[in-house]
């Protein structure tokens, strides 16, 4: 969703999906649920999502089970992972 040609809100919900990298699919590593919410603000007057500089905040929540990566599942000691990222992209 784009609001006022400066604010961008993105997100997704995935069920029983692979992670970000190709090897997750090759080794059948999945997450039961994945939620992503990303907000960014365009910093220049180009107002083009692809080539503008922007600053943003991304939150990623994933539930884990025995089919998730071993380093994240920790033999059942945890049920989820949560990650937040503050980022800056310089476009030209």
Domain extents in the chain: 2-55+72-89
Averaged pLDDT for residues 81-92: 92
Report the alpha-carbon distance of residue 53 to residue 89 in Å, rounded.
5
Residue 14's DSSP bridge partners are 34
Would you state the pLDDT for residue 69?
81
pTM of the model: 0.81
Report the alpha-carbon distance of residue 76 to residue 28 in Å, rounded.
18
Say if residue 80's pLDDT is above 80. Answer: yes
Tens digits of residue pLDDT in 9-66: 999 999 999 887 788 888 888 899 999 999 999 998 877 778 889 999 999 999 988 8
Of 28, 42, 82, give the one whose Cα is nearest residue 59.
82
């Amino acid at each position: 969703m784009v609001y006022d040609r400066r604010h961008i809100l993105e997100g997704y919900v995935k069920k029983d999906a692979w992670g970000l990298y190709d090897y997750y699919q090759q080794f059948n590593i999945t997450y039961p649920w994945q939620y992503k919410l990303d907000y960014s603000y365009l910093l220049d007057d180009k107002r083009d999502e692809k080539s503008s500089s922007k600053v943003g905040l991304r939150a990623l929540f994933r539930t884990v089970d025995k089919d998730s990566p071993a380093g994240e599942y920790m033999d059942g000691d945890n049920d989820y992972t949560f990650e937040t990222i503050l980022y800056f992209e310089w476009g030209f």
